[in-house]
Structure 1
Amino acid sequence: MGTNMSRSIDYGNLMHDAMRSLIRQVLSDVAENGLPGAHHFFITFDTMHPEVELADWLSDRFPEDMTVVMQHWFEDLDVTEDGFAVTLNFGDNPERMYIPFDAIRTFVDPSVEFGLRFETQDDDDDEEDGVADIEDAPARPVREAREADKGKSAPKDAEVVSLDSFRK
């Protein structure tokens, strides 16, 4: 068996495919059975992705990326091979949106400190592809959110967090 030097294993893309598949499985389970326990998700996605479907006022407000929180109030979660649609509440405005898995930049479940980050070509600050260290997960904003939750008895609507709050 000869070796073919021009062929190489693209671990970066394989990792991204595996991560998207994991997100698809998690969201499919939530679509069928609801969110288990304290689990909830911060999902940051690229609002410029051609297949993203988003209300105009939201894409105007978030011209690059946007983070949605799936926690207390979401409806009609519909997961397909390529992405998911969900209705979220933005200050009493229920908005339907479609997010292709390819548009997702980070997926974090703060309840178990699990985070995935998809590196893009324009992230030159750090070369490695794939799974975020736990340090990349938004530990600080999550703690702040928990503190804020203690003061409020009513469950909060889906909130919009800018990605800057995730960056160190």
Structure 2
Amino acid sequence: MAEDETPIPDSLLPYDLWTEEALRLVAVRALQFAAREGLPGGHHFYVTFDTRYPGVVMPDRLRAQYPEEMTIVLQHQFRDLVVDPSERSFSVKLSFGGVPSTLEIPVAALTAFADPEVRFGLQFVLQTIANTDEPEPAPTVAPPVETGPADVVSLDAFRRRPPVKD
């Protein structure tokens, strides 16, 4: 076996998990900035989350309308955006059909985050919660943004691949 064909051993370190956590932190930092400073220029966020995820708090009428997944847009008409000091959740007040509602969303429930102004987007794999009887929901894709395709960072770019044979 040639030296460049040596198989890569399985990692004993959770690089995939660490990378996913780091990418979620990018979304958290953007939310913290918006909570503190507001959204500059044309920046706005599409935040997609799994409504079934433990810890998601939302009105029953919205949960009935969005039983699996919901995308909210943080642009002009949102209030009281607060990122928990632990950086594990955030809350925001939005109006749906003219009715004000507060949503509380664990960061782990996010499946996508995008800022169409700069064509930036992230997709996430849902994190498994220990001690639940429900299977982990499948990852989902955020709806396309009308301003053009987002530059999505996928973890696949960082996963091990078999060596290319000549």
- Could you tell me the TM-score, scaled by structure 2's length? 0.70
CA contact (8 A) 2:82 2:92 kept: yes
CA contact (8 A) 2:116 2:147 kept: no
The superposition leaves residues 28-51 of structure 1 with CA deviations (integer Å, 9 ceiling, x where unpaired) of 111111001111011110100110
**What is the CA–CA distance in structure 2 between the aligned matches of 1:54 and 1:45, rounded to whole Å?**
12
Q: What's the counterpart of residue 104 of structure 1?
A: 110
Q: Which of 69, 85, 93 is residue 87 of structure 1 equivalent to?
A: 93
1:23-38 equivalences in 2 (<5 Å): 23-38=27-42
**What is the CA–CA distance in structure 1 between the aligned matches of 2:98 and 2:70, rounded to whole Å?**
18
Residue segments in structure 1 that go unaligned for 5+ positions in a row: 126-135, 145-168
Q: Which of 59, 67, 76 is residue 63 of structure 1 equivalent to?
A: 67
Q: 1:118 offset after TM fit, Å?
A: 0.6
Q: 1:25 offset after TM fit, Å?
A: 1.1
Determine if the alignment matches structure 1 residue 49 to structure 2 residue 53: yes
Determine if the alignment matches structure 1 residue 119 to structure 2 residue 125: yes
Q: What's the counterpart of residue 76 of structure 1?
A: 80
**What is the CA–CA distance in structure 1 between the aligned matches of 2:58 and 2:112, rounded to whole Å?**
18
**What is the CA–CA distance in structure 1 between the aligned matches of 2:121 and 2:83, rounded to whole Å?**
20
- Could you tell me the TM-score, scaled by structure 1's length? 0.69
Q: 1:7 offset after TM fit, Å?
A: 5.5
Change (3 A) 1:86 1:137: closer
CA contact (8 A) 2:48 2:142 kept: no
Counterpart residue identity of residue 61, structure 1:
Q
**What is the CA–CA distance in structure 1 between the aligned matches of 2:137 and 2:78, rounded to whole Å?**
32
User: More helix by proportion, 1 or 2?
Assistant: 1
Structure 1 runs (4+) deviating above 3 angstroms are: 120-125, 136-139
Residue segments in structure 2 that go unaligned for 5+ positions in a row: 1-8, 127-135, 149-166
CA contact (8 A) 1:114 1:137 kept: no
RMSD: 2.4
**What is the CA–CA distance in structure 2 between the aligned matches of 1:114 and 1:138, rounded to whole Å?**
14
Q: What's the counterpart of residue 20 of structure 1?
A: 24
**What is the CA–CA distance in structure 1 between the aligned matches of 2:82 and 2:114, rounded to whole Å?**
19
Change (3 A) 1:124 1:33: closer
Aligned pairs, how many? 129
Sequence identity percentage: 40
